[in-house]
Each structure stands twice: as structure tokens, then as C-alpha cells.
Structure 1
Amino acid sequence: MITKVKIQGYRKYKNFTFRPNPRLNLIVGSNESGKSTLTEAIALALTGRINGRTAAEELNPYWFNIEIVEKFVRSRTAGKRVTWPEICIELFFEDCDELQQLCGAINSDVPTNACPGTAMRVFPDPEYADELEEWAKRPSNLLPVEYYKIDWRSFADTVITSRPKHLATAIIDSRTVRSTTGVDYHMRYILNDGLKPAERAAISVAYREIKASLSNSVLKSVNDRMAEMHASLHDQPISLSMDQSARTSWEGAVTPHVNNVPFSMAGQGQQAAIKISLAMSRHSESAAFVMIEEPENHLTYTSLTTLLQRMESLAGEHQQLFITTHSSFVINRMGLNSLHLLGGSNPYKIDEMEESTVRYFQKLPGYDTLRMVLSNKIVLVEGPSDEIIFERIFRDKYGYRPMELGIDVISLHGLSFHRCLELCAALDKYVAAIRDNDGAEPDELTKPLEEFLVEGRREFFIGKKDHGGTLEPQLLFYNGEMALREVLGISENANLSTWMKREKTEAALRIASAQKSIIPPQYMLDATSFIHG
């Protein structure tokens, strides 16, 4: 298993260290956070290939970190002699007998670390030193990669020319399903896994005979006529015959079908699910590393459920899985304790969460935990009416909706504050949690959650008991009945308190759209000031 990944100078990563879990790794981050770049770098150092081609064939100036290149260009333009930008991707493996040939201490760890590993390095080729110096007289941000060299070595300092068999890797990208490539991909694995050598030979013989029969039947009359036509032109008449060479073998003419429809014409969701299932099934006994890009793409809720169940059953005990995702359903179902959050200089990992909390979210796979994971600042409220009214109070005070300032207001819909705050604490998020006192003293409600609260970072806001047990009586206390009737448009004949409790969401919507602002309950106003900063 991979124990550590170090990436220097590759694309968005200047100096990046990633410590994966032994089995499952869920890689989550906002757009452009580097999820695909991370899995791409791991695959590059594992296989020496990218997008199905060798690293040397794919090398281009955009591999290099932009900041490093820009700094180099500025320094060279100013006449300073600085080292050329380089790329280094190192994979550190656990010590095991199968990888002893990769074991050594030629890596960037300090102090010295002797362990199995591979390193992919891209650096200026010394043979082109003169050409590089000539180019550097008028440098640009597009490095002359033609003068660069790629070196793929083990930590034992031996050159790797092809992927070691114990580093077998399955790379499954469900985001795009190209028709021809998709057919070739699946056909290859179906043929390898589903057919015995004798069956392959029998199909090949039958296919050759079918082609020969075409030559001796349908094409015979055509050839007879062509022979007469060309007899007066030359001694060797032209004839048509089915190609029997290896390049036209039966494998290229057979295509998989899904429910009697060619695979390439099946829906993208169907193609993605089959692609993942076949590849994992094919590799379950041989691939040590499986990388899956966004398995949720093109799939409905029920289809994704089926796929995740299939993935869990197909994953081998010895396999290390890397899954990038934008789906709360995936991270809840697969387990929040496997989560790696990208976005900063180094990934944030949830090291310790109660197992009961992990199971809690697994039982609620539809809940949008991804919003909590990706938000910079969070306001947790009990229900939709609290959410609507908080947003109005915030907008009245600051002139913007919370989301416009990077603050996500999340309704728990009856979920446990304890579970959600534990997740937020594990990710060290800024949180304002707002709840009703329900007739209890605020300190009594806060005490069980103190382990997750940090002054100035995660705080609880609860209305005073004598101002009302829920949001509606709190609003009445601060605004008075007459003013609140005016805002809500409720006649004097209706019991305002009863109506507000019965029509919680409607009351909140009327407050949110009213021309006149309300006087906010103090605990909500305090939460607004806290989360705004």
C-alpha cells in the first residue's frame, strides 16, 4: 500500500504531501482544488503513463507549476542564475517482501527513510545545457520541454522501464465515456476474463471460415465479372476477397451489447456503471491500486446506490482505493472517516471520528454533508424557517446574503447537532450553531457539546428561556404583536401565536419578503455578528 505521496512542482502543487488511508480514500474538494491532479500524479508514478500514453509522449509545459515557472522567468529576466523548474512525484510504500526490489533511501525524506518507493522526475537534460541557456536569454512561461528529461526510478536508484507487476493499477474515469475507447476497453476485459483459450481459438476459426464463405459465394460472381472486364488490360485480374490477416481478427469485429443495444449507444450512466464494475471485477485479484473518478456521474440516485454496493463487494482486501467525488451520497455511504479534503497547501484528513457518527451519516446517505465539508463558514439551524429568517436578518445587517460572503446556512432537518458539530470540529470549521431552547436553560443544552465548541471558532447561540421556547415566541417578544401582525399580514381576528406555530415556513417566507424589517431576536443577531467576523 502507498503510505505517502510527495508532489513537487507538478501542476497546481508546489510542495504537497498526501498520506492515504490503507484501504479507502475519498478525495473531496471544490472545483480546481486538485483532485484529478492528485490521482493523475499517483498514477504517473505508479505506471509511468498518463492518458494511456507514456510520460515522455505527454510531457508539455503545462505540467509545471505556474508560480514556480513565473518566479524562474522573473529571476532569469533580472539576470539572476536560479535553478530550472523541475517536477518530482514520489510514492512511499509499506515495507513488504513483494516490493523489496524498490527498497532504498534515494528519496527526499529527511531524516533518511529507507523503504520501497518510486519517483518520477522531470528535469533539464544536461545534454542540452547550451540550448537551455540560449533559451533563458529570452525566457517565457512556456518552458522548452524538448530539452527536458524524464527519469522514473525506484528508491533503490534503479531505472524503471515498465510498471512492476506488484504495482498493477486500475484507472477508471466515469466522467467521460468515449464510444470507441469505451468499446475497446470493455471488449478487452470481456475477452480476457470471459473466454477460455479453446473458445477463443474456436471463434477465430469460425470467423475465418465465415469470411472465406463470403469470398466463395457473394463475391464470386463479382470477381468473375471483374476478371472479364480486366482481361484485356493485363494478365493478372483483380479480385475481391475478405481480409484474413491478423489486423482484421474477430476481436475487432465483435462489440459488446447492453440489452441488445451496442455498448457505445447505451446511456452514459449505463456505460459508466458497466465500466466501473467490469474494471473492478477484472482487477479485483490483481490490481493493488484502483482509482475511480467521480463514480456518481450520469447516474440516478437508485443506480448510484446499486453501483456503490457493487464497488464495495468487488473491492479486494489487498486493494487501496482512491475515489474522487462531488457527491454527499458517496462520502456518506463509503464513510466519512475515509475523507481527504483538498483546497489548502496540504490535504485535511479526518483522523478521529466516533464510529457511531460515521454510521449515523451512512444511514443518511442523502444528507448533504458535502456542504459542511466544503464551506469555509457554516451556520447550522434546526429547520427551514430558521434558515429563511436568519438569511433575512443577515441581509438587513450587512446588505448581502450569507452565501455571497462565503457563509453557508444549513438546515439540519431534525439531524443531531452533536453529529454535525463533531464533523465540523474534525474539519476545524467556523460554525455558528443556532437552536431553540425548548424550555430548557441554554447552558444545559450547550454542556453536552462543549468538546466540539471553541470560543471564536465554533459557538452555540440559544435564545433566553424567558423570551420563549422556540423562534416564534422569540419573534413576538422582540417585535410585539401589533408590529408582527403588520409584517405578516395577519388580521386581528386570528390568534397570531397559534398561526405562527402552525405555519412556521409560511411565516418565515412572509418575513423574508416583507418591505419592513423585523427586530431580530438577540441570539440570532449575535450569531450573525459572530459568523460575519
Structure 2
Amino acid sequence: MNHIKRMHIKGLKKFKDIDIEFNEKINILVGENESGKSTILEAINIVLNQQYRSIDKYILKDLMNINSMKDFHKNPQVNNLPSITIEIELELDNQANVDTIYFRGINDKDKGQFEKFGILFECEFDKEFEDELRSEIEDGVIPFEYYKLTWSTFQGSSYNIMKKPLRTISIDNSIADSNSSFNYFNKSLFDNKYSSSDKMKARNSFRNEVDLIFNALNLEGLGNNRQFGINSKKTILDNVLTVYEESISLENKGKGMENLIKTEIALNKSKNKLDVVLLEEPENHLCHSNLLKMLDEIKKNTNEAQLILTTHSNMIASRLDLRNILWIGSDEAISLNKIDQEDAIFFEKADQNGILNLLLSKKVILVEGPTEYMLLPIMYEKIIGKSMEEDFITIISCNGIAYKRYLAIAESAKKKVAVITDNDGKQNVI
């Protein structure tokens, strides 16, 4: 199965340098707010779909790692200018629709000795302008207008998006204004559904029909040999596409139902048309029953495509197997794939659990049940003089002796945890 095997990010937003190993099928990105989960999905789009290929160069300032820019300002030299490198290593089958030789080679940036499949993105200062801009740079100016963006395969060839090795779709349920994300979804779906010849035929027919309909109106001219006409640059089929269900467009279905249907469509397409599905916070705007329905769809349709999703939902993290979690820290991505299978199954079946509360908290105290859960904050504030929230401490009730399973997760995620339990009447047990 074609999929993303590994990604190395250097200098993009919050990531100064990070390596991420992906699972072949399901990847659940978990981390605190601003940990960089969305940046990982963005990095994949930058490389595979050449996002930002045509942009105002000044936007690069928002993409650069702030610590890299600080390092430059401490010692403003040409060689210290901030840059971005994103390298994606691919696992490719020998299929007729993928030119594997085009992507195969030894990547110099990786310093490796073995041939791999992959694509490299670089955003860096164009050294051709080094002499004329040296004085400005040494005064602390970062000349983003003189940066160049390049995409290349591990073979060394310039990456052409028409030879994209993985068919992808991105669904962002995290933003309130869905217009831009929905347009992107529609375009991606249209692009992956039909052949190049069918798409070209549809676009040309649409443009021609619009012209014919307008000309048939026979509108009176404006005088001086002037008249209204259709701007062909604006009559683009992709910009007016939408998806209908039972004669109602998905945009008008309500945000929760829209998210559910978009996800279902993407996952159903993954059976034979998609290789990678990128999903941002699928739980947004969904009630409990619809979230369960979405999880069922994900489980049924992830055998044919790789799924990379971000979430803050305990249910999603546990129901899709904790061993698929990638805990995103400031400079590392920790896989929980070493968790014992019995522990993973326990949390998958548990009615309620606080597994993400454990992962997302700075300090955690595990207690056995509701009594300790209610009394501990009162005791803490009385003794310490501050609330547990002020000290960034989270209490998790484990509903019995399940704290041992929580400790196994904490160990895998390198979390510091304290446990408070009763001795059940045993005088020699503290």
C-alpha cells in the first residue's frame, strides 16, 4: 500500500527539527494546543500538493521557525539566514500508475547511504543575490522576497505535481468558516474521482455553455462598440462545484452533518481512489451518536488508505487503538505503539476514560474513585494554599485499580504521574 513512511521537518513554524515515523494505516496526532499537530498536516500538503508554490513571499515570515529567526538576529550572516526543509519518505508499490524510479534515490539531506523513495521541499535564500544583499543581511534584514521554493524527488529531478505519487484529500473540521475548506474538499474530490480527460472535457464544456447562455440573452450594447461579456478566467468549474445529498448541498446540512458526510465520502473514496486522508479534528460539531458513526466509518474504510488525523477526543484516541497515537512534543513525536495490547483493548472498550487528559496535562494524580476525586482538591487547597488548577495539576479517576493501565500509558509518553490509592484495610500497605 502506498503511504507516507517518515517525515523530517526543519525550520517550519514551531518545529526547529523533528522526525516523525508514521504508521502504515492509522495515525492519531495528539498534543497540547499549539503543539504543531496542524503544522504536520500542513507540511504534508506543502510537499505533496506544492502548497504555497505561488504566494506573496512575505508570508514566509509566518512559516519560519521563530527560534531560527532569533538565532539569525544574534549573528546576522548570510549562512545563518532561516530556512525550511521538509522531507517526506514514501513507501511505494510497483504499480503502473506510479513512476517509482522518478522518486527513488539517495537524499543528500538525509546523509543516508540507502536508496529510498521520497520528495524534498526547500525554502531558502537564493544565493545568487548574496553579494548585492550582504550588507542588508548583516544589518539584520531577512530578505524574504529573495527566497526560493524548490521541490525535488530523491532521484534529483524537479518534482512535477502531475506525477504526484500519493492521491490525497484534506478535511479540516476545526474552522468555523467552512467556505475555503469546503471548496478545497470539493476540488480534491473532483480531482481524484475523474480521469484527466474527463475533467478537461467537463471544464471546457462548462465554459462553452456559459458563453452560449450569455450570448443567447442578446443584451443591448453599451455604445462605442462596447458590450458585456463573460470573463473566461472566472468561469472555472472547480470554483462552483459542490456536493449534494437528496437535493441539499452539504454546506446547508448543518456543520456537524457536513463534517460527518465529508468524512464518509472521503473514506469511501479511499477504497480505490485515495492513498492518504488528512483529517483535522473530526469530532468537531458532532453529537455522541454521530461521533460513534464516524468512528465506525473510519474503522471500516482504513484498510485501503493511510489516515492521519488530529484530535482532542478521548473517544477517538481510544476507539481507534491507543497504539496508533503519535504524541507530538516540542522536538519529538513519540509513538505509543509499544503499549500492551490488553491495555489498548481495555481503553477501547471502557465507557469513559481520561486518556487524553493524561497525555495533555503537565502534572497528573491518579485516584481510584469519585470519593478521592472530590476530596483531593479540597485537601490540596487547604494544605498548599492554592488550587490544583493553579499548579497545573489534573486529577483522573480510574474507577478502581485501572490506574496500573494508565501508568503504562504514562510511561510510554514519558509523563510524570502520582497515584493515590487506599489500602483496603491492610495496615501494612501505605
Flag whether TM exceeds 0.5 (same fold). yes
Q: Within 5 A, what are the aligned runs for 1:298-447?
A: 298-317=285-304, 319-364=305-350, 366-414=352-400, 416-440=402-426
Rounded Cα–Cα distance in structure 1 between residues aligned with 2:15 and 2:182: 31
Give the conservation status (yes or no) of the 8 Å contact 1:208–1:244: no
Rounded Cα–Cα distance in structure 2 between residues aligned with 1:265 and 1:57: 36
Specify the alignment match of 1:179 in structure 2: 179
Q: What is the root-mean-square deviation of aligned Cα atoms in Å?
A: 3.7
Specify the alignment match of 1:32 in structure 2: 34
> TM-score under structure 2 normalisation?
0.84
Give the direction of change, closer, same or farther, for the CA distance of 1:408–1:245 in structure 2 (3 Å limit).
closer
Q: Report how far residue 170 of structure 1 moved.
A: 1.6
Q: Aligned to 1:10, what secondary structure does the other structure show?
A: coil
What is the letter of the counterpart of residue 9 of structure 1?
A: G
Specify the alignment match of 1:100 in structure 2: 101
Rounded Cα–Cα distance in structure 1 between residues aligned with 2:82 and 2:58: 18
Specify the alignment match of 2:74 in structure 1: 74
Give the conservation status (yes or no) of the 8 Å contact 1:125–1:149: yes
Q: Report how far residue 276 of structure 1 moved.
A: 1.9
What is the letter of the counterpart of residue 144 of structure 1?
A: P
1:155-177 CA deviation, whole Å, 9 max, x = no partner? 22221132533222222111235
What is the letter of the counterpart of residue 369 of structure 2?
A: G
What is the letter of the counterpart of residue 278 of structure 1?
A: I
Give the direction of change, closer, same or farther, for the CA distance of 1:101–1:255 in structure 2 (3 Å limit).
closer
Specify the alignment match of 1:285 in structure 2: 272
Give the direction of change, closer, same or farther, for the CA distance of 1:442–1:121 in structure 2 (3 Å limit).
farther
Q: Aligned to 1:118, what secondary structure does the other structure show?
A: strand
Give the conservation status (yes or no) of the 8 Å contact 1:7–1:14: yes
Give the conservation status (yes or no) of the 8 Å contact 1:380–1:432: yes
1:85 is aligned, of 66, 82, 101, to 82
1:74-104 CA deviation, whole Å, 9 max, x = no partner? 212xxx6753222111112246545332122
1:295 paired with 2:282, answer yes
The number of aligned residues is 418
Q: Aligned to 2:130, what secondary structure does the other structure show?
A: helix
Give the conservation status (yes or no) of the 8 Å contact 2:183–2:241: no
Specify the alignment match of 1:153 in structure 2: 152
Give the conservation status (yes or no) of the 8 Å contact 2:368–2:399: yes
Specify the alignment match of 1:121 in structure 2: 122
> TM-score under structure 1 normalisation?
0.69
Q: Aligned to 2:11, what secondary structure does the other structure show?
A: strand
Give the conservation status (yes or no) of the 8 Å contact 1:132–1:147: no
Rounded Cα–Cα distance in structure 2 between residues aligned with 1:122 and 1:129: 16
Q: Report how far residue 293 of structure 1 moved.
A: 0.8
Structure 1 window deviating more from structure 2 (355-364 vs 245-254): it is 245-254
Q: Aligned to 1:60, what secondary structure does the other structure show?
A: helix
Q: Report how far residue 28 of structure 1 moved.
A: 0.5
Q: Report how far residue 43 of structure 1 moved.
A: 2.3
1:194-233 CA deviation, whole Å, 9 max, x = no partner? 9997xx98xx79x969x86x998xx69xx7xx79xx9xx9
Structure with bigger helix share is 1
Rounded Cα–Cα distance in structure 1 between residues aligned with 2:376 and 2:248: 52
Q: Report how far residue 154 of structure 1 moved.
A: 1.4
Q: Report how far residue 333 of structure 1 moved.
A: 0.9
Give the direction of change, closer, same or farther, for the CA distance of 1:56–1:284 in structure 2 (3 Å limit).
farther
Give the direction of change, closer, same or farther, for the CA distance of 1:192–1:354 in structure 2 (3 Å limit).
closer
Q: Within 5 A, what are the aligned runs for 1:233-312?
A: 256-258=243-245, 260-312=247-299
Rounded Cα–Cα distance in structure 2 between residues aligned with 1:411 and 1:271: 35
Q: Report how far residue 26 of structure 1 moved.
A: 0.6
Give the conservation status (yes or no) of the 8 Å contact 1:180–1:264: no
What is the letter of the counterpart of residue 396 of structure 1?
A: K
What is the letter of the counterpart of residue 158 of structure 1?
A: S
Q: Report how far residue 294 of structure 1 moved.
A: 0.7
Q: Report how far residue 357 of structure 1 moved.
A: 1.2
Give the direction of change, closer, same or farther, for the CA distance of 1:420–1:245 in structure 2 (3 Å limit).
closer
Give the conservation status (yes or no) of the 8 Å contact 1:174–1:275: no
1:391-414 CA deviation, whole Å, 9 max, x = no partner? 222222221122221221111234
Give the conservation status (yes or no) of the 8 Å contact 1:13–1:65: yes
Q: Percent identity?
A: 26
Rounded Cα–Cα distance in structure 1 between residues aligned with 2:50 and 2:110: 22
